[in-house]
Amino acid sequence: MLLTMANQMSCAIENAMTQSEISLMEQDHNRRVKQLSTLLELNKALLTTVHFERIVHMTLTAITMGDGLGFNRAMLFLVDEKNHALAGTMAVGPNNAEEAGEIWSALSQRKRDTSKLIAQIESSTENHSVLNFIVKGIQIAMEHEQCILSRTVLEGRPFNIRFPHDKEEWLQTRCERGCHLGSEVGCYVSEHLSRDPKIYAFATVPLWGKGKVIGVILVDNLYNRNPITEEDIGYLTMFSSQAGLAIENAMLYRNLEEVHQQLKEAQTFLVHQEKMAALGELSTSIAHEIRNPLVSIGGFARRLDRTLPADAPEKRYTRTIVKEVERVEKILSDILTYTHEEAMVLKELDLREVMEESLSMISEKLRSGGIEIAKEFSEKVPGVKGDYYQIKQAFFNLINNACESMDRKGKLSVRIHPLSKNGSSFVRVEVEDTGAGIDPEALHHIFNPFYTTKDNRLGLGLPIIHKIVTTHQGQIEVNNHPGRGATFILTLPAREEKQK
């Protein structure tokens, strides 16, 4: 009887163990099915767009999503082949533990299926987090072979850097040079990405494109401190393989768009040059045919005006003829100025002096019109190498346009300051008026030749300014405030100081 009972107990225990194993296998199977299903949904989402920023944001958000891969934070570093470096591209994750807690609490209260969460990823691409700002400022030279990020690219394999528990393990995980990620105090990356560089654990996986590594995805669980397992690494590697192809395709598409835009700009420039050449020949011929009789008309009209008594009724007719002749002469002069390439006489200019002379040319008009002038010039402004007469004409046209827009009343503000941008020095000139501003519909056409919204205007004032500024390797911008005025901003490169 005891033997029978023992056999029955043995069978029961064996069945229980088998059932337990089957249950574990079933749980593992269900987990794998869920993972594969999630990967399928994520990969399908990546195929919905070729926009680079959107794909990168979707990829990193999927990695940190609770129903996705579930890491606390995810960062992407892409290979910059030109500079042979790794450049921080984007990061997704909470800025601090409090923010992480709020996010997890909100997610626990609203359960959604994967497809709805994917849709939420697609609809939110704004990323103004502190982490994203920090990562975008990181650049690591690929020569640093001991850096974990560099090694991930060079060796094409993932790394899982766990918490160091003793000195021996610490020495095994530290980097000798490079970014020292996850190693000693003083490391730029680990000190900015972690709360305590000495206990910072993270994992990296290579981002594969077509036959080569194009970047690195770095993940961590900084806030919940969950260990990153080899299964997590495998899951992340599977996803990153598909994400890498999508990101590479988006990069190629972005490059094609940039090249296409450059070709369009080159084509537009060539068409513009051809038009200008044809217009130049035509304007020269017309100006020659018109100017000869115009000189005679103007000369005789001025002579007749001088011979007539001041109280003669015919005096107003001669003055009208002289005034109209001068207007036509100015039109011809503007056309020739815009259509012909004049040789520039370059010398070092102080734009403050040029502006003062331009203001003096129109000072009488300003005073009679009741226009207030406010000047703001920096004490130290670097010189600009340019053609004095062209720069003076550009300033005069800007001031004159500002006065006309204010209809004989308002405030004209002129500012000149030095500017440093991308390691180069510039001089910034601003001419601001308090007029009616520019019609938003006309804003995109104001630099086009012969476009005007004013009566008795040829529409060459701003195009001539634009031509002069671009000829001097500068830029012109406009800040438009309809109903309140407009500000034209000229940025000209400063003359480089010779080192003593």
Which CATH number belongs to the domain containing residue 371 in this structure? Answer: 3.30.565.10
Which of 219, 253, 287 represents a domain boundary (last residue)?
253
d(CA 167, CA 147): 19
Q: Please list the residues that pair with 385 across neighbouring strands.
A: 348
Same domain, 245 and 371: no
In-domain check, residue 261: no
Q: Is the entire prediction scored with pTM above 0.75?
A: no
In-domain check, residue 323: no
Structural contact between residues 232 and 221, judged by C-beta atoms closer than 8 angstroms: no
Q: Which helix (H) or strand (E) holds 425?
A: strand 424-432
Q: How many distinct structural domains can be found in the chain?
A: 2
- Using CA atoms, how far residue 325 sits from 226, 283, 302, 335, 393, in Å, is 86, 18, 10, 15, 21
For residue 439, the 8-state DSSP code is: -
Which of 215, 231, 253 represents a domain boundary (last residue)?
253
- The domain of 453 spans 342-493
In-domain check, residue 16: no
- Using CA atoms, how far residue 450 sits from 84, 274, 340, 441, in Å, is 49, 17, 16, 16
pLDDT in tens, the chain (500 residues): 777 777 777 887 877 777 777 777 766 666 666 666 666 666 666 666 778 888 888 888 878 876 557 788 889 999 988 888 888 888 888 877 677 666 655 655 555 555 555 555 554 445 667 888 888 888 888 776 667 888 888 889 998 887 654 444 433 344 444 444 444 334 445 555 555 555 567 889 999 888 889 999 999 888 888 888 888 888 888 888 888 888 888 888 888 888 888 888 888 878 866 776 676 677 667 776 777 787 788 788 888 888 888 778 888 888 888 888 877 777 777 666 666 666 678 888 888 999 988 888 877 777 776 788 888 888 888 888 888 888 888 888 888 888 877 776 788 889 999 888 766 888 999 998 888 788 787 777 777 766 676 666 666 677 888 888 888 888 888 888 888 888 999 999 987 654 43
DSSP class per residue in 118-152:
HHHHHH------HHHHHHHT-EEETT-TTSHHHHH
In-domain check, residue 409: yes
pLDDT digits (tens, 9 = 90+) for 15-33: 777 777 777 776 666 666 6
Structural contact between residues 67 and 117, judged by C-beta atoms closer than 8 angstroms: yes
Which of 218, 253, 288 represents a domain boundary (last residue)?
253
Which CATH number belongs to the domain containing residue 182 in this structure? Answer: 3.30.450.40
pLDDT digits (tens, 9 = 90+) for 130-162: 888 888 888 888 776 667 888 888 889 998 887
Helices 2-46 + 230-307 axis angle, to 10 = 10
d(CA 206, CA 95): 25
In-domain check, residue 77: yes
Same domain, 349 and 232: no
- Using CA atoms, how far residue 427 sits from 263, 290, 464, 466, 479, in Å, is 30, 40, 20, 16, 18
In-domain check, residue 262: no
Same domain, 249 and 349: no
